[in-house]
Each structure stands twice: as structure tokens, then as C-alpha cells.
Structure 1
Amino acid sequence: MLITTITCSNCHNAVDNNFCGNCGQPIQIKRIDKDYILHEIWHILHFDKGIFYTIKELLIRPGQNVKEFIATNRSRLVKPVIFIIITSLIYTLTSNFFHIEKGYVNFDGSKQSAIGLIFSWVQHHYGYANIIMGMYIAFWSKLFFSRYNYNFFEILILLCFVMGVGMLIFAAFAVIEGLTKVSLMNIAGAVAILYAIWAIGQFFDAKKVSSYFKALAAYMLGMIVFSLSLVLLGILIDFLKP
């Protein structure tokens, strides 16, 4: 009797069930159709362990939830990089829809210069720019909270969640500004910074007042150094251009 061995298309392990016991890959992969697309969208947006659940938890208990994500359970919240990209996209779409001129990052110089082009890229790619900005803030946070047992990348995860919520704060104020025609983006910036200080302080030590001052210093220094690095990069490019 001829026995046919089925192998997993992903890890090439021998399989005797509907799913690979090594990597979990199904033997028969469903064809991508409208049901698959709708399922994936719902998987991201559904309230239980989806983006709405993540937003709610980050607004109520940011420090505790990010700690749990890092140390014990990474299935409750949306993945941090996906979260910051989606929330940045929401802000971009909202500000473009309501034609909000004064945005999250502003630069009044000429867009013909390298500096102008760099800041223009930031304004059109908030998701990626926020991750880079988060690296600067994470660096200062690691410096100020050095006695805590979190490495740079774990703090960066915190910043992805925090800055993602910041993007939603800007998006909410952009909607209100678009409907009322009252300039609110400066207020949005203040609220986003206050949230970031509170969330970072909660993450490290919610009971210490010094945690919030350190969080403020780390956040502001990160933003300043990020902006200065963009300017210096633009100056260097302009200097090297023939």
C-alpha cells in the first residue's frame, strides 16, 4: 500500500492533520476572496482584542497594559507598529479631509530645499516618522529611567502605543476643528503631550511625581533632537549637492 506523506508548505514538516503541528499552518489555505478581506478588516477593528479595545485600554491604563504586553500577554493589544501606522493614517486622512493646514508637524520654509523636502516627507508619512521620532524619545527615556529593567526596544514599544494614541487625539481635534472652523491644533498638541507624559510616567512608576517630570524631559528632548537631526540632515544634503 502506497502511503503519501503530506508536508507543510511553510516549514516542510511532515503533517498528519489539518494543521501543521510545528508551525500551525493549515494544510489547505483558503482562497483570498471578499470574505477573507472582510474577516481581516474585522480582525483588526473588532472590539475584543482589536484596535477599539486597544484604544480603550491605552486611554484607561496605558502603563499597566503596555507592561503586560511586554512581559506576559501579547495577544490582547494590536501589535504596536501596526497600531501606530493605522492611527497615523487615520490622522492623515482626517486632516486631509477637513483641510487642516496647521498639522502635527509644520515647516514654513521652502520645499525646494532638502530641509523642506524632508519635512514634507514627514508630513506625508506620519506612521514611519512617528516610529523614528519614537526612537529618539525612547533613547532619552532609557537614559532618564536607566534604573528600570527595560531595554531600548521595550521602551520603543511603549512609545509606539503612546504616539499612536497621540495621533488619535490629533485626529479627534481635527474633526472638531473641521466642523466648527475653530483652530484647535495647538490645544491638540498640548493634550497629546500631557497624555504622553502621563502614559510614560504610569509605565515606569505611577506613584512617583519624578516619573512624570522625567517623562516630560524625555518627550521634549526627543522631539527637539528629532527636529534638529532633520534640519542638520537637510543642511548636509544641500551642502553636498553639486
Structure 2
Amino acid sequence: MVCRNCGAEVTQNYCPNCGQPVQLKRIDGHYIAHEIQHVLHFEKGILYTVRELLINPGRNVRHFLTDNRSRLVKPVIFIIVTSLIYTLVLHFFHIEDAYIKFRGGEGERKSITLTFFKWVTEHYGYANIMMGVLIALFLKLFFRKADYNFFEILILLCFTMGMNMLILAVFALIQGIVHANLMGVGAILGFAYCTWAIGQFFGKGTAVNYLKAFAAYLLGFMIFIFMILGVGLSLDNLLNR
């Protein structure tokens, strides 16, 4: 027999080259339940990752980068899943988004600018990765003496921004239940968490690291918003001439 995945010769139940099983089991209810359990289980799953990032984010992200990359959920998957959770909570309780929002006049509903911002609010996972690129550039500039490259800093931001999304989701959930306006509080706490986590990653012994983390995060966020506004308004002006 030949492995359907890599083409190597197979004499047993699993390919000796890539580990692919010779006969794949059919997808059924048990398979779906197992996959959900695999993502959510406490050891090396979403819940475990959230716990570790709450207790000591800097140390755990450094450990992920240098020692063990199987303890935590993959960073890109983490930020996409957590952003999806936040979006689903908002839509379920019909809560107005307090993270990124933009309003136009009655005649501007079909503007390109509003379309861009609508895409951001519906695809936070991808939007956060793009915003993370800008924040990572500032962090690389501010912490240029640190021995971390741009992509390692981007991994740090995937974890911290994913936690920010979960913090916002928790406050959105509470707001939806008690009907109290708490999203502003969640936004402040989420921003504070990211500042603390990033500063801790680069060394928790000095307050300067936290100030640099705060400045980098704020600048990256603002430039992301201004870029959307600038491109959107420019295209709107060109089309309206």
C-alpha cells in the first residue's frame, strides 16, 4: 500500500514516514465531540492557555518561543477563536460594539469607509492580526535592544490581543445579562492587560517597559484606525467627484 498523504510505502496501520493512518474513520458525532473536547480541554487547550496567560503571560509566551510550543494553543488560532467568541457574544446579545466603531450620516451608509469598518467588526481575528503588525513594528523599535525578532513579537501579540478579546467578551456577556453599560470598562481593562503582559514579556523589573508597551499598543491601534479612515475617505472622495 502507498500512503495517500506522502506517497511512502505502508505495511502497517500507519505510515512510517508521516504517521497518517491507512484507513481514516468516518466523520460522525463522536468525531465532532472529540474535536471540540480537544480544543477546549484544560490541558494544552483553550482553557489551559487562558489560565497560563492570566497567571504569567510574559513567562509563558517566552517559554512558548524558546522551550515548548505544544503547551499552548497555536497563537494565530488563539486570536481568531477568541475574536470569534467576542463577535458571537456581541451578536447574541445585540450589544453595540465599543471596541472599534464608526458612524456616518444618513447618506453615507454605503460609503467605502463604513464598509471597511463593518468588515473589521465582522472579522476581528484578521483585523487584530493586521493591527498586531503595526503594534509589533513599534515594539520592535522601542525594544530594539531585546533579542526578539519581529515575528516573535507578533506571536506575543496574538496571545495578548486574544486575551483582550476574551476580556471584552466577558464584559459583553455580563452587560447582556444585567443590562448595564460595561463595555467601556472591559475596553480599559483589556488595554491594561495588554500593556501589563507585553511589559512583563520584556522584563517586569522596570516601569519603563510598561510605558513602552503602552505607547506601542496605543500608537499601533491609532494608526490602524487612521489608515482605514484615510484610505476609505480618500476612495469615497474620488468616487463622489
> TM range, normalised to the smaller chain?
over 0.9
Shift of 1:9: 1.1
Give the match for residue 22 of structure 2: 27
Output one character per residue of 1:62-95: Cα deviation in whole Å (capped at 9) or x when no partner: 1111111111111111111111111111111111
Contact 2:44 2:72 in 1 (8 A): yes
Q: In 1, distance between residues paired with 2:213 and 2:111?
A: 34
Task: Give the C-alpha shift of residue 239 in structure 1.
Answer: 3.7
The answer for the alignment partner of 1:108 in structure 2 is 103
**1:13 to 2:8 alignment:** yes
- Residue equivalent to 2:225: 227
What letter is aligned with 1:177? Q
Cα shift at 1:205: 0.9
Selected match of 1:167 from 160, 165, 168 = 165
Bigger drift between 78-87 and 95-104 goes to 95-104
Q: Note the C-alpha offset of 1:54.
A: 0.5
Match for 2:120: what amino acid? Answer: V
Q: In 2, are the aligned partners of 1:114 and 1:238 still within 8 Å (CA)?
A: yes
Please give the secondary structure, in 2, of the residue aligned with 1:205: coil
User: Which of 44, 51, 61 is matched with 2:46 structurally?
Assistant: 51
Identity %: 55
| 1:3 match | none
Distance 1:59 1:201 in 2: 14
Please list every run of 5 or more consecutive structure 1 residues that lacks an aligned counterpart in the other structure.
1-5
Q: CA deviation at 1:177?
A: 1.2
User: How far apart, CA to CA, are the structure 2 residues paired with 1:20 and 1:144?
Assistant: 48
2:89 and 2:169 in contact (8 A); partners too: yes
Please state whether the residue corresponding to 1:74 is helix, strand or coil.
coil
**Kept in 2: contact 1:111–1:120 (CA 8 A):** no
Q: Which amino acid aligns with 1:111?
A: R
Task: Please name the residue that 2:65 is paired with.
Answer: 70
CA contact (8 A) 1:115 1:230 kept: yes
Task: Point out the more displaced range, 227-236 or 96-105.
Answer: 96-105
* Structure 2 counterpart of 1:112, one-letter code: K
Give the number of aligned pairs: 237
What is the distance in 2 between the residues matched to 1:112 and 1:132? 24
Aligned counterparts of 1:116 and 1:81: Cα–Cα separation in 2: 27
Q: Is the 8 A contact 1:95 1:103 kept in 2?
A: no
Matched with 1:201 is 199
CA displacement, residues 121-172 of structure 1 (integer Å, 9 cap, x when unaligned): 1111111111111111111111111111111111111111101110111111
Partner SS state of residue 210, structure 1: helix
**Normalized against structure 1, the TM-score is what?**
0.94
Is residue 74 of structure 2 the alignment partner of residue 83 of structure 1? no
RMSD between aligned residues: 1.3
Which consecutive unaligned segments of at least 5 residues does structure 2 have?
none
